[in-house]
Amino acid sequence: MPVLDTAALLHWPAERLQGGIVTHSQLDELRKLSPQRAMLVESIEMEWMSMGTGDAESAAANTGDLPRLSPVDLEILAVALATGQTLFTDDYSLQNVCRSLNHPFESVSNKKSEQQWAWELRCIGCRATKKADSQTEEECEICGSPMKVKRSRG
């Protein structure tokens, strides 16, 4: 059974969604994005799960993707990791974390990412860098300017 992120719930035909694994938080997200689609998804036979996100958060922090992932993303990643099933997602940050863990993933409708990415906090003033392992952007310890999460150049 595949683990489906919200992109699959929005774009795949109903028959392809059947039997997929999803989270309750995705349904709340789907209701906000497309109430009609949410009603359709609720009528499909799928496995609905809820899960803590501790392992997913740790894995995302290790790759630097944590600032780019929502609570819903982290929960669906946690479900994929716990079940060992393939995660279907167009989110490159989720794909990046899966790749770092050698966890199977496939894209929903976009092109699948091709390589592992690393993220860093980069100062907009002096360009100093440090590992991006928190969800908040910080102030530079050198010059005091804001540090933004950017793809690592190295």
78 & 100 share domain: yes
**pLDDT tens series, the chain, 154 aa:** 999 999 999 999 999 999 999 999 999 999 999 999 999 999 999 999 998 998 999 999 888 888 789 999 999 999 999 999 999 999 999 999 999 999 999 999 877 777 777 778 889 999 998 876 655 678 899 999 999 878 776 5
Asked if the structure places residue 111 within a domain, the reply is: no
The domain of 128 spans: 119-151
77 & 34 share domain: yes
Burial class, 41, CB count within 10 angstroms (exposed 0-12 / middle 13-18 / buried 19+):
buried
- Chain centroid offset of residue 16 CA: 21
CATH of the domain at 23: 3.40.50.1010
Asked if the structure places residue 66 within a domain, the reply is: yes
How many domains would you assign to the chain? 2
128 & 64 share domain: no
Give the CA diameter of the chain.
Answer: 55
Asked if the structure places residue 35 within a domain, the reply is: yes
CA-based nearest residue to 53, from 78, 18, 16, 36:
78
